[in-house]
A = this chain, B = another copy of it.
């Protein structure tokens, strides 16, 4: 059984916090891509794109390999399992707090003394 090392959630949630990087993941889902092709697609300098890819790599979400002068990027084998697990576990936490729906509804009828 192969074990992929999962970097801490800090790194992956940081990687996912930028729309361009989420777009890169979308794109790589449609096929591997070079830094240049990604830079073109997202209207950015090569250097800028390289930095985004590095953030994704650090998080283990993307792996790259340089062959000749071309660096090819693809989705990392580790996937988004750890992230999905955290989100799902905590989604239940949120829902548990609000299953007393009538409380919310009655709150809606009165004005809260908020700031």
What class of interface size applies to chain A in its complex with B? 35 or more
A11 to chain B, nearest CB (A): 8
Taking a contact as CB atoms under 8 Å apart, the answer to whether B79 and A91 are in contact is yes
Q: Would A9 and B22 be within 8 Å (CB), given that A67-B113, A79-B94, A80-B90 are in contact?
A: yes
Residues of B within 8 A of A65 (CB): 112-115
A59 to chain B, nearest CB (A): 10
User: Which residues 80-95 in A have Cβ within 8 Å of B in the complex?
Assistant: 80-81, 83-84, 86-88, 90-91, 93-95
Provide the main secondary structure of the chain A interface: helix
Contact of A13 among B13, B29, B79, B81 (CB under 8 A): B13
Residue numbers of A with Cβ under 8 A of B are 2, 8-10, 13-14, 16-19, 22, 25-26, 28-29, 65-67, 74-77, 79-81, 83-84, 86-88, 90-91, 93-98, 104, 108, 112-115
Q: 4 tightest A-B contacts by CB?
A: A29-B93, A13-B17, A79-B94, A14-B17
